[in-house]
Structure 1
Amino acid sequence: MRSGSGPRIVALRKTLEPGVGWAMAGHGADEHPHGADRLCEAGDRVYSRAVRRGRVPREDAEPVPCLLDLALLHPDPDDMTWLVPTAPQEVMTRLLRGLYDEVSTSQRRVGSAVAAFEWYAGLGPQRQAATAEGGAIRVLDGLSRIQAAMDEATEACTTEVLTVQPGGIRPEHELTEGLHRALALRGRGVRMRDLYTHVARHGQGLLNYLELMGGTVQARTLDEVIDRLILFDRTVAFIPANPDRTLALELRHPALVQYLVTVFERLWRLAIPLTAPLPDTGIKGISHREQSIAALLAEGHQDAVIAERLGISVRTCRAHIARLSETLGAASRTQLGVRIAQVGLDGTSRPADVAAAAAGSGPPTASLTLPDQGSRTVR
């Protein structure tokens, strides 16, 4: 350990009682059984280097997972192979949060904690100023870190929550886990608006949840929505940062948040209230979902992509495609593409063709070239 750091660490250890710091979580707890108030020597070296230099390579922190577990280091939004330090002032504030409840009897311990992290703060004053400005975008690494940030934003929320929930039917356990937070928001008079895919209409759990929440929550649906988005009071937003959603971005930059609010509001205007029926396609035998699948097929998307965008399984998607083929009299994917265009399911409908299909006269006659069959007329 460098000269100068030892006395501060020792003093901090003597004055902060066990349990005051953040609890250790995840891997590395056995090798580094301590909180942020009592850094190990290896953690002290790496964190000090990160504060002094502004960032450290991710591999430097592998021997000290405690720094990531305690959120003293987090991924650099500009380059995930590097880790940047949490500003010592922020660490100090979090450490002292538990102490403030006992401030009348703990002044000496509070002062020692401040003194200890003021030393770290002096290592890189210029970098810390930049870090404070960069707080508009924060990378949250791990589900526990994401949930903690979401809980903090929920507690601070006072007026409105906007969410976009992609995928299909919401699992009951997800709705149950979030119910206590939703009830707490309702108790404070917070209004909520949720956007789902049309498939979510078939989940009884969602219907039960909305009935329980009453008029506090409004829900609408679309054929497809953007990836997950949660907005609190139009001041902070959370979006996923990787496909499996183990990384997230917490956004507080006013321009970014306002942009996402605008996206949400435009989708909301296009969406259909959950209590309203989906519009009829106007074509006999073709459901609204099959119409959506047809439009995506016409754009050239594969089955797996279509299923993901509409929030259904690939198996269900293929079952709908089979019914589409049967309804439109198509014997192959090539024919199906032509039939989709003929009846206007590709978004370029011709009123006469759609009217004919709706009247049951069948698709218009077309000259098609089928694989290995030559040219023939199909009715």
Structure 2
Amino acid sequence: MSGEAAAVRAHQGHPHGPERLCEEGDRVYSRAVRRGRVPRREADAVPCLLDLALLHPDPDDMDWLLPTAPQEVMTRLLRELCQEMGEAHRRMGSALSAAGRYAGLGGRLRPADTAGAAGGASIRVLDGLPRIQAAMDEASAVCTTEVLTVQPGGIRPEHELSEGLPRAMELRRRGVRMRDLYTHVARHGQGLLGYLDLMGDAVEARTLDEVPERLILFDRSVAFVPANSRRTLALELRHPALVDYLATVFERLWRLAVPVGSPVPAPENCVPGVSHRERSIAALLAEGHQDAAIAERLGISVRTCRAHIARLSERLGATSRAQLGVRIAHAGLDRPPGADGLPA
């Protein structure tokens, strides 16, 4: 059966994926795992198990079905999730690039031309750091529930954390919950650890190998994103569809991220001597990124990035950049940590 036909059949009778089986499907699959196989007739009522490749015919006896190993199912789900997140990253980058291009056209329109149905602009261009800060202060002052932020780059400078501390303390006083996403590198900054200790359970922070561009979202009603590389232009977004999309991206990244208080898990099937960060660099090299772009995405300096590449070349026995790419692929390091096992 083709993948399209299987999808139609699964949708008609069993509208779900392997991450959420129907009750009967879960019962039959669990029995197959425990016993090693089940009679084909037991799966007649749950075609989803065959459509989703959780069961497959026993080549020695076609009247029986064998289960796909749970570890393989888990790996497949995580790989699909990582691919989905990669696509979300690319779509977000494209959307922000387009917004930056259109930002320069804003001055040609009268305010009424960009007004939403409620009389306020759904997308507003903020020009200059004072205006950006004033708009965020205004949104923070009326925030009542939650603040979601994505903080790219490496270790957060202590002066940045100190400048934002009064606003964060006021939000905490009003019972607002805050969740922050950083890169793994940010874990090494004492300023961030001190800030989290001071804020207590009002702030929860998690980290990833890399995160998209800066995002600040108040009460899922207004979001702020940069509109140029120097961050002297920003977009204030109040359109419900845009804000919902950014909130969804944040939540999916949040599920993949590791709490700051927990160690970053070592990826499965890791090459001995290759660190977690070097594996992340290897995956980005395999995608064709240059040193500066890799350093920016992982929140490290170009010099540190090149030092990791040199150690990676030595570990894999590569004597040239081209050979390093081949060795990375042969070693299975051309996927980011977490793409072939437990998420990192």
Same fold (TM over 0.5): yes
- The 5 Å alignment of 1:13-32 reads none
Structure showing greater Rg: 1
SS for the counterpart of 2:147 is: strand
Q: Report the residue type matching 2:254 in the other structure.
A: W
- The answer for the alignment partner of 1:342 in structure 2 is 330
- Give deviations 1:122-172, integer Å, cap 9, x for gaps: xxxxx6977964611111010000000000001000010000000111011
Distance across 1 between alignment mates of 2:158 and 2:255: 27
* Cα offset, 1:78, TM superposition: 5.9
SS for the counterpart of 1:243 is: coil
- The answer for the alignment partner of 1:23 in structure 2 is none
* Cα offset, 1:336, TM superposition: 1.1
* Cα offset, 1:283, TM superposition: 2.3
- The answer for the alignment partner of 2:226 in structure 1 is 240
* Cα offset, 1:223, TM superposition: 0.8
SS for the counterpart of 2:105 is: strand
Distance across 2 between alignment mates of 1:251 and 1:148: 15
- The answer for the alignment partner of 1:280 in structure 2 is 266
- The answer for the alignment partner of 1:153 in structure 2 is 139
- Give deviations 1:288-338, integer Å, cap 9, x for gaps: 100000000011111011111111111000000001011111111122111
Q: Does 1:325 align with 2:310?
A: no
Q: Deviating runs (4+, > 2 A) in structure 1?
A: 75-87, 127-134
Q: Report the residue type matching 1:202 in the other structure.
A: H
Q: Indicate the structure whose relative CO is greater, using CA pairs within 8 Å and at least 6 residues apart.
A: 2
SS for the counterpart of 2:107 is: strand
Name structure 1 gaps, 5 residues minimum. Answer: 1-74, 88-126, 350-379
**CA contact 2:280–2:336 (8 Å) conserved in 1:** no
Distance 1:229 1:130, change over 3 A: closer
Sequence identity of aligned pairs in percent?
A: 74
* Cα offset, 1:347, TM superposition: 2.0
* Cα offset, 1:238, TM superposition: 0.4
SS for the counterpart of 1:135 is: coil
Q: Report the residue type matching 1:305 in the other structure.
A: A
Distance across 2 between alignment mates of 1:76 and 1:297: 28
Selected match of 2:300 from 312, 331, 351: 312
Distance across 1 between alignment mates of 2:227 and 2:291: 25
Distance across 2 between alignment mates of 1:128 and 1:248: 16
Q: Report the residue type matching 2:107 in the other structure.
A: W
Distance across 2 between alignment mates of 1:197 and 1:348: 14
* Cα offset, 1:82, TM superposition: 3.0
- The 5 Å alignment of 1:98-247 reads 133=119, 135-247=121-233
**CA contact 2:286–2:325 (8 Å) conserved in 1:** yes
SS for the counterpart of 1:214 is: helix
Name structure 2 gaps, 5 residues minimum. Answer: 1-99, 338-344
- Give deviations 1:232-256, integer Å, cap 9, x for gaps: 0000000111110101010111111
Query: Aligned-residue CA RMSD in angstroms?
Result: 2.3
TM-score by length of 2: 0.65
Q: Report the residue type matching 1:232 in the other structure.
A: F
Q: Does 1:82 align with 2:107?
A: yes
TM-score by length of 1: 0.59
Distance across 2 between alignment mates of 1:300 and 1:145: 38
